Every structure is written in structure tokens, then in C-alpha cells.
Amino acid sequence: MSVARVTELIAASPKSFEDAIQAGVKRAVKTLKNVEGIWVDNQKCVIRNGKIAEYRVNLKVTFILKD
């Protein structure tokens, strides 16, 4: 039987939500071991001068705890 933990990350990109998600996953797997999945909890855009300047995502990352 395994035990999992969930941690929350916020990632951002000037390009797209997809790029922000990819950046968040890339960073998560550098630090966390045994990452099993993520889910996007929230999306938001930062507006500057009437245009989208940044895409942000709140990610919940699930990873398995090892003995």
C-alpha cells in the first residue's frame, strides 16, 4: 500500500496556460520524487496595458511517499 502527498504550486508564463503548466511540471519533478500526476486547480491572467501579460496556474502535484 502506498501513501501519497499533494503539494500546491503556482507557475506562470508569458506565452500560454499550457506553457505555464509545463513550466510547473518541469520544476516540480526537479524537487519532488515519485510525481504521479497534477491537476490544474485554477487559472488566471495578469493584464497590463489592456493585454494579457502573464498566464498563471495553480497546480496540485501528487507524489508517492517512499519508505
19-61 per-position pLDDT tens digit: 999 999 999 999 999 999 999 999 999 999 999 999 999 999 9
Nearest to 20 by CA among 53, 63, 50, 49: 53
Backbone φ and ψ of 65, nearest 5°: -85, 130
- What local confidence, expressed as pLDDT, does residue 66 receive? 87
Q: Which pLDDT belongs to residue 1?
A: 66
pTM, to two decimals:
0.88
**CA dist., res. 5 & res. 16, Å (int):** 28
pLDDT at 4: 94
pLDDT confidence of residue 3: 92
The H-assigned helical ranges of the chain are 17-31
